[in-house]
Amino acid sequence: MGIKAWKTCIRRPPQAATFRLSVQNPYTRELQTTQITGYPPPTRQPTAEPKQRPVPDPAASTMDCDRILEASAKHPIVAGHDYQYGTAGFRMDSELLTGVSFRVGLLAGLRSRQLNGRAIGVMITASHNPPADNGVKILDPMGDMLDKEWEDYATQLVNCPTDQELLDTYLDLARRLEIDVNASGRVIFGRDTRPSGHRLAAALAAALDANTTEYTDYKIVTTPQLHYITRCINTEGTPEAYGDPTLVGYYKKLGGAFVRALKERKIQSKLSVDCANGVGGPKLAELLKYIPKGINGFNVQLVNDDVIRPELLNRECGADWVKTRQQPPLTHKPPPHVRCCSLDGDADRLIYHWLDPIYGFFLLDGDRIATLFALFMDDMLRSAGLEGKLEMGVVQTAYANGASTTYLKRRLRVPIVITPTGVKYLHRAASQFDVGIYFEANGHGTIVFSHEALAAFHNTEPQSPAQKYALEVLSAVGDMINQTVGDAFSDMLMVEVALAHSDWTLKEWATIYDDLPNRLLQIQVGNKDIFCTTDAERRLSHPPGAQNEIDDTVGKYNLGRSFARPSGTENVCRVYAEAATRSEADELATKVAHIVQQFGS
């Protein structure tokens, strides 16, 4: 397809002349003709080559736009919905997502072309949501979250009301960003076990076929596995090579590193893993094949691993259930004293827990995992002689329990960074440290190592057996941790390594500090958008006066802390409160909720 413009002289008097100007519309291909009167153009002289690179015009390309229009018509968007790309991509009822998935495919192919053909990932999952939901999110080449500017492009593209407007917006975006739509592009994608995943993957593939993008369907994978493979593909053959870009490569890397990191340390007892009846069940079973059975007492039992009946996904089990309900899975209640952990539906969250016959249920959430990792890494860095040479920091959100923050500051004296809610913010902040540990309280997190840290683990010449031991453990941990995103598998292995080296039970881990009692409420408001936050979502900047009233209320409670923030997807505000006692935390939360209702009505 191309723009064809030419001028045909009708008559040529000495002065003025009439010309016919014919232009082919780049989208409809109709030839539009008009007549103008004026002076004939002077004879063209040869011009020098432009100094600036000419802007590629996708409308002047040979791309077959009819194919995009035809494919889009087969995967229509559901009208009447406002689609917004958020931290989890597009996530909603799966019946609304077929057209969304198609348009995400177009954008992913365009993103790849902008980055000179580097592979872009697309994961189809709704994580801990019910089975009827699903989601589509895009991964950038290093396995990280999509660039913020491109989140806005995704929202714009998906909300186009017609096929023609979709094509126009797609071409306009390519033109504005100087992207050659005829260049090579590559996309890889996978999905979790939800029944709708196959349909959404087919819609995604249809878009990639329509804009001639090379793609690979990895079928059913965990979300962290797709992040891992994306980075491996884009770093293969470079000094930053991250590993073999296959599932087997993933299993071998994590399994082998786990064995090396354990050394001769013993694991105290069996671990029961609640797989949320999701993709984590079969994929963890595969990973365990690459770890010698029973090594150092490592004995894993998988429960809630039924993927044949999709309606069981996340039902009364899984990390989100355990965290929010503060109780073990109802579908497989563990006996007392058994060490347990729970994954979520796509295996990117991890929560540890156990049932004490006297004191009841104990929960070890993301705050506790971050603290355990920080203690372990601090000890290993000191033993390796790297204390003071590498900077370690911990990244949390406002939802982190205040007791964990206080413990880290006083016990380890490590820098603590608080970011807004959302993995992309935590990951970015953690990347500023040589050893950056980040976790949300919900169990999503990982460790990010700088190039300097990894080089120090591998290249430092040990001066003693103890230093050699620590350097070898750190080197193994650098391989075992999935640095691209929170990964329940690698985090679980890391917890087991840290506990084994500390010779701790879950109870000993749980007693390093006492959580402050807390309460989380969800408040219906007239318009959530009038609530604006600042200071990493810990304070309200609008509506005026609301934060002053919250401050006055919080000041009346011992160890009181509370904040309110609007939901990103629902017309509600969430109120978090903590205080020295359970009754005070509940009372503080109720009073702050009343303030929110007053200002939001």
Domain encompassing residue 10: 5-38
Which CATH number belongs to the domain containing residue 592 in this structure? 3.30.310.50
Residue 527, CA distances (Å) to 82, 85, 155 in order = 16, 20, 21
378 is in an annotated binding site: no
Do 385 and 276 share a structural domain? no
Residue 567 pLDDT:
83
Q: Which strand (E) or helix (H) includes residue 448?
A: strand 445-449
- The torsion region of residue 337 among left (phi > 0), alpha (psi -120 to 50) and beta comes to left
CA–CA gap between residue 503 and residue 62 (Å, rounded): 65
pLDDT category at 7 given cuts 50, 70, 90 is very low
State the Cα–Cα distance between residues 561 and 577, nearest whole angstrom.
6
- For residue 437, pLDDT over 70 is answered with yes
Residues 349 and 383 placed together within one structural domain of the fold:
no
- Annotated binding residue 172: no
Q: pLDDT band at residue 339, thresholds of 50, 70 and 90? A: very high
Q: What are phi and psi of 378, to 5 degrees?
A: -60, -45
Q: Is 46 within the bounds of a domain?
A: no
| 2 or 273, which is more confident | 273
- Could you write out the three-class secondary structure of 143-188? CCECCHHHHHHHHHHHCCCCHHHHHHHHHHHHHHCCCCCCCCCEEE
* Complete edge-to-edge strand list for the sheet that includes strand 5-9: 5-9, 17-24, 31-38
309 and 187 assigned to the same domain = no
Q: Is the pLDDT of residue 338 over 90?
A: yes
Does 568 belong to an annotated binding site?
yes
Q: Dump pLDDT digits (tens) for 84-123.
A: 998 889 999 999 999 999 999 999 999 999 999 999 999 9
Q: For residue 261, what are its two tokens?
A: 């990191």
Same domain, 333 and 477: no
Nearest partner of 251 among 221, 281, 275, 286, judged by Cα: 286
Q: Is residue 248 part of a domain?
A: no
260 within domain boundaries = no
Q: Given 345, 364, 383, which residue is the final one in a domain? A: 364
| Pick from 15-24, 40-49, 381-390, 563-572: least confident | 40-49
Residue 342 assigned ligand-binding role: no
Please say if the pLDDT value at position 236 is more than 90.
yes
Diameter of the chain measured on Cα atoms:
107
Report the pLDDT value the prediction gives residue 475, as an integer from 0 to 100.
Answer: 98
Distance, CA of 339 to CA of 328 (rounded, Å)? 11
Among 5-9, 60-64, 447-451, 453-457, the minimum mean pLDDT is found in: 5-9
Q: Is 60 exceeded by the pLDDT of residue 23?
A: no
Share of the chain above pLDDT 90, in %: 81
- Report yes or no on 454 lying in a domain: yes
Q: Is 34 annotated as a binding residue?
A: no
Q: In Å, how far are 136, 299, 330, 381, 442 from 274, measured between CA atoms? A: 25, 14, 11, 32, 15
Q: What is the pLDDT of residue 335?
A: 86
Count: domains in the chain: 5
pLDDT at residue 268, as a whole number: 86
Of the two residues 359 and 146, the one the predictor is more confident about is: 146
Pick the last residue of a domain from 453, 484, 510. 510
Residue 479 lies in a domain: yes
User: pLDDT tens-digit profile of 469-502?
Assistant: 999 999 999 999 999 999 999 999 999 999 999 9
Per-residue pLDDT at 301: 96
CB 72 within 8 A of CB 162: no
In this predicted structure, which of 15-24, 60-69, 152-161, 429-438 has the lowest mean pLDDT? 15-24
For residue 193, the SS3 value is coil
- Sign of the Cα torsion 475, 476, 477, 480 reads positive
* SS3 label, residue 294: coil
For residues 316 and 28, the model is more confident at 316
Q: Is 184 marked active-site?
A: no
For residue 127, say whether it is annotated as part of any ligand binding site.
yes
Bridging pattern class, strands 119-124 and 186-191:
parallel
Domain co-membership, 33 together with 79: no
Higher-scoring residue by pLDDT: 3, 520: 520
- Check the annotation: does 348 bind a ligand: yes
Say whether both 389 and 304 belong to one domain. Answer: no
Task: Please compute the mean of the pLDDT values over residues 356-376 and round it to a whole number.
Answer: 95
**Residue 24 scores a pLDDT above 80:** no
Q: What is the pLDDT of residue 57?
A: 52
In a domain, 54, yes or no: no
User: Which residue among the candidates 101, 112, 127, 196 is catalytic per the annotation?
Assistant: 127
Looking at residue 331, its pLDDT comes to 86
pLDDT score recorded for residue 63: 67
Of the candidates 536, 553, 555, 556, the residue with the CA atom closest to the CA atom of residue 592: 553
Task: Check whether residue 160 and residue 124 sit in a common domain.
Answer: yes
CA–CA separation, 190 and 245 (whole Å): 14
For residue 273, the domain's CATH number is 3.40.120.10
pLDDT at 147: 94
The Cα–Cα gap between 22 and 259 comes to 72
Helix, strand or coil, per DSSP, at residue 132 = coil
The model carries a pTM of: 0.87
pLDDT of 39 reads 39
- In a domain, residue 346? The reply is yes
Q: Are residues 288 and 157 in the same domain?
A: no
Say if residue 86 is in the same domain as residue 23. no
> Residues 553-582, buried b or exposed e (16+ Cβ, 10 A)?
bbeebeebbbbbbbeeeeebbbbbbbbeee
pLDDT per position as a tens digit, 511-562: 999 999 999 898 989 889 899 999 999 999 999 999 999 999 999 999 999 9
State the chain's mean pLDDT as an integer. 90
Do 375 and 350 fall into the same domain? no
- Where is 136: in which H helix or E strand? strand 133-139
* 344 known ligand binder: yes
Query: CA dihedral defined by 422, 423, 429, 431, rounded to 10 degrees?
Result: -170
Q: Is residue 231 part of a domain?
A: no
Average pLDDT over residues 443-464: 97
Query: Do residue 332 and residue 412 come from a single domain?
Result: no
| For range 315-332, the mean pLDDT | 91
Task: Note the pLDDT tens digit of each residue in 555-589.
Answer: 999 999 999 999 876 788 999 999 999 999 999 99
pLDDT mean over 288-304: 95
Residue 385, pLDDT > 70, answer yes
Q: Is 441 annotated as contributing to ligand binding?
A: yes
pLDDT in tens, 38-90: 434 434 333 333 334 344 454 445 568 999 999 999 999 998 899 999 888 99
Query: Are 394 and 327 contained in the same domain?
Result: no
Domain endpoint, select from 510, 533, 559: 510
Whether residue 552 is annotated as binding a ligand: the answer is: no
82: its two tokens: 């406002």
- Please list, residue by residue across 340-372, b when 16 or more beta carbons sit within 10 angstroms of its beta carbon and e when fewer do: bbbbbbbbbbbbbbbbeeeeeebbbbbbbbbbb
Task: Tell me which residue of 458, 396, 391 sits closest to 421, measured CA to CA.
Answer: 396
Three-state secondary-structure class, residue 427:
helix
- Confidence (pLDDT) at 540: 95
Q: Select the more confidently predicted residue: 5 or 232.
A: 232
User: What's the pLDDT band for 21 if we cut at 50, 70, 90?
Assistant: very low
